[in-house]
Amino acid sequence: MEMGKFFLVVLSLALVLDLVQGFEFTEKDLESEDSLWSLYEKWRSHHTVSRDLEEKQKRFNVFKENVKHVHKVNKMDNPYKLKLNKFADMTNHEFRSSYAGSKVKHYRMLRGSRGGTGGFIHEKTGNLPPSIDWRKKGAVTGVKDQGKCGSCWAFSTIVGVEGVNQIKTKELISLSEQELIDCESDNQGCNGGLMENAYEFIKQNGGITTEGLYPYEATDGNCDASKMNSPVVMIDGHENVPVNDENALMKAVANQPVSVAIDAGGSNWQFYSEGVFNGDCGTELDHGVAVVGYGTTLDGTKYWLVKNSWGPEWGEEGYIRMQRGIDAEEGLCGIAMEASYPIKLSSDNPKRAYPKDEL
């Protein structure tokens, strides 16, 4: 490798590492209004956030309160830590509206009873492994970013389909969330929806196409029928995990990545950085994510490994570990209330209309 290219690679890796590690601050940064302003300017530069002067002053006031919250929580004896991430000058209301806006509970009330086949094929799964991580088995694509679009339901669904397809075919293909947003009429695109509606759409449509062919736009668009009619991965349907049963959820996750809904609107979710999250949250299901594993820390804390869709700079490189096996039957943040997964009975997929390298 040429020396110039080598240094570019090293610099790129350093920038990525810096982004993932997040933005650090000290007690000295909190001493005065001036030091806090300097901290805000550093944060804006770090995250390349542009604000006009009037907006900057408003955002600075929000930023100050968020800094105080992160600092206060991090001084507590929690098994998790917070950081000043890209959401640091957003109010919690703004954050919830933009990033935890799937309104799963609302759509469940409108739809009524859950769909699916009515079965649970993983019911008799025994001898569960003490831990599993579907990333290590090649069944999980890189962390994606939904942007300011309440499309988390689509990302959650796609994790499930990408996962089961890789398990059946040994081929990991990044699939299209935008197709679901534009073409799946039972959900509301950037205004939220249910994962089970999306699974049903993929089954009825004869599959779903790739992210490369139908790329993500983070906005509602018109359905591109030519792309929708070029499916690459098919499923045979979906099933629901028995409600409020973390043991059943564990059986499902032992076999494949699983879509779940959670209450992710709290400030500690907004600024989560690392560790096993056990913070306050309710069951107002507002965000779709995917459980791609589970495990136990060295001190014996059980956790779910959850893939989010807020980019790799949030949390543990885009993931959060959530405490597993708490007293509440619905699980932490309602994680066991609305779990589902796709069924794929064979390794068959639609014949590709495009060469692999064009997808």
Active-site annotation, residues: 152, 287, 308
Q: Is the dihedral of CA 310, 262, 316, 47 positive or negative?
A: positive
Q: How far apart are CA 176 and CA 208, in angstroms?
A: 7
Question: Where are any strands of DSSP class E within the chain?
Answer: 80-82, 132-133, 237-240, 258-262, 272-277, 287-296, 302-307, 319-323, 340-343
Q: Which amino acid is at 249?
A: L
Q: How far apart are CA 53 and CA 310, in angstroms?
A: 27
Tokens 């390298």 sit at which residue?
Answer: 357
Task: Spell 315-333 as b/e; 16+ CB within 10 A means b.
Answer: bbebbbbbbbebeeebbbb
Q: How far apart are CA 293 and CA 308, in angstroms?
A: 13
Q: Which residues pair with 133 in a beta bridge?
A: 293
Q: How far apart are CA 165 and CA 320, in angstroms?
A: 24
Task: Spell 135-158 as b/e; 16+ CB within 10 A means b.
Answer: beeebbbebbbbbebbbbbbbbbb
